[in-house]
Amino acid sequence: MSDLAQSAGPCERPGMSAAAPVIILVEPQLAENIGMTARAMANFGLAELRLVAPKGGWPKKGVREAASGAVHILDAATIHATLPEAISDLQYVLATTARERGQMKRAYAPDDAMADVASRQESGQRVGILFGRERTGLSNDEVSLADAIVTFPVSPEFSSLNLAQAVLLVSYEWRRAAGLARQPFDGAMTAPPASREAVLSLFESLETALGQAGFYPPEKRLGIIRNMRDRLHRMALTEQDVRTFRGALRALTRRVPHDPS
C-alpha cells in the first residue's frame, strides 16, 4: 500500500469528523431504520456505523433506498457478532434508553450528553453511543456495559421514539455541542436599511396622496399620520422597498379613464 493510500484514512471521507461519535445499533431489524439512521448521521456529519448481529442478516434489501444517498455510511458500516466486540476500541460508551434500569448510572438529556461527549473528544477519547432493538431496546446487561445513559425528554403519554429518530436527535445535539452547527443561510437583511431621506420622501408622498384622497378629516390628520409612519417603520424599509412603495403609490394615484369592463 502506498503512503498516499495509507494517509487516506477514514477521517478523510467527506462529511466525516474524526471526532464524531460511533453509532452502534444492537440487533436492528428493519432495513428502513438502518437506512434512515445512516441518513440522519450524514445530515449531522457523523460517519461511523456499527451493527451488532443485525436480525435477518446483512446487507438488507431496501436499506440503500432508505439511506437516500447516505450509502457511504452503509458501505463503511462494520458488522459485529457481540456488543463487547463492537465497543472494545472505545473509551467512553453511552447507552440510549427510555426506561429506568435500576442501575446507578448518570442519565443525561441528549444536549448534556453531547456536551460531555464533545469535551471528551477534545481530549482524544473515542466515544460510542448504543441504540437497542426496535421493540425491546437494550437489555439490562447491555446497558451495564455503558458508562452512562442518554434518555429523551419525550411526552410521557407517547414515549416510543423510532430508532432512526433517536439517532437523529443525538446526531443533531452532537453537531451543536461540537460547535459545527451553522445555519445553511442566514436571514440577515440582504440589503441595508433605506436612508432616512428616502423614508422621509415616502412619508411625504403617502401623506400628500392620502390628504388629496380625503382619507382623514383635518383635525385627525396628525394622529393618523404618526400611526402610519409607525407602521412603515416596523417594516425596516430598504431603498428598494421605498422605491417599490413610491411606484405603487404613483400607480394608485394616477388619473386613468374609468374602464367599465
Interacting residue ranges for its own copies, rule: CB under 8 A: 14-15, 32, 36, 39-40, 42-45, 68-70, 98-100, 102, 104-109, 148-149, 151-162, 164-165, 168-169, 172, 175-176, 180-187, 189-191, 238
- Burial class (CB within 10 angstroms; exposed 0-12, middle 13-18, buried 19+) of 9: exposed
C-beta of 7 vs 155, nearer to its own copies: 155
Say which DSSP state 238 is in.
B
C-beta of 40 vs 52, nearer to its own copies: 40
C-beta of 113 vs 206, nearer to its own copies: 113
Give Cβ neighbours of residue 205 (< 8 Å, ≥ 6 apart): 246, 249
Residues present in the chain in total? 261
Shortest CB 69 distance to its own copies, Å: 7
Cα dihedral 33, 155, 93, 25 in deg (nearest 10): -10
Question: What is the end-to-end Cα distance of the chain in Å, rounded?
Answer: 82
Shortest CB 218 distance to its own copies, Å: 36
Shortest CB 78 distance to its own copies, Å: 20
Shortest CB 61 distance to its own copies, Å: 16
Shortest CB 45 distance to its own copies, Å: 4
C-beta of 105 vs 221, nearer to its own copies: 105
C-beta of 106 vs 220, nearer to its own copies: 106
The letter for the amino acid at 85 is: E
Can you read off the three cell numbers belonging to residue 136?
A: 425491546
Between CA 21 and CA 114 the distance in angstroms is 9
C-beta of 205 vs 238, nearer to its own copies: 238
Listed residue (18, 28, 40) closest to 133, CA to CA: 28
Can you read off the three cell numbers belonging to residue 36?
A: 434512515
- Burial class (CB within 10 angstroms; exposed 0-12, middle 13-18, buried 19+) of 3: exposed
Shortest CB 157 distance to its own copies, Å: 4
